[in-house]
Amino acid sequence: MSPLHPVSVAGAVVREVSEETGVRVEVGELTGVYKNLARGIVALVFRCRPVGGGARVSDEATAVEWLTPGEVRERMAEVYAVRLFDALDGAGPHVRAHDGRRFVS
């Protein structure tokens, strides 16, 4: 994006969630910053509230589901599940680093 067309962080979150899942969201607070050391990726995670659209899969989302905390614990790898639990605990934003499988900080 050129400097002539700045995009807000919240606007980028709304666009990405809609493009990837079909769900329109209202963006809340930043709940975590997560660095995948193995891949050199930094993910900013925001708490969001669905406000419209319709859930659908895409090239970037093979499934779109609403899960209970217990289902998250059972079905997701720890390095991704913790992002959801961090968003729910209200004590963020959390800053964590992982190697793709386990947290290192």
pLDDT in tens, 54-93: 999 999 999 999 999 999 999 999 989 999 999 999 998 9
Whole-structure pTM value: 0.85
Burial 23-37 (b: 16+ CB within 10 A, else e): bebebeebbbbbbee
Within 10 angstroms of residue 71's Cβ, the number of other Cβ atoms is 12
1-54 per-position pLDDT tens digit = 556 666 799 999 999 999 999 999 999 999 999 999 999 999 999 999 999 999
pLDDT of residue 49: 96
pLDDT of residue 3: 63
pLDDT of residue 23: 97
Question: How far is the CA of 25 from the CAs of 49, 54, 67, in angstroms?
Answer: 5, 11, 17
pLDDT of residue 95: 97
Cα distance between residue 89 and residue 32, in whole Å:
11
Cα 58 to the center of its chain, rounded Å: 16
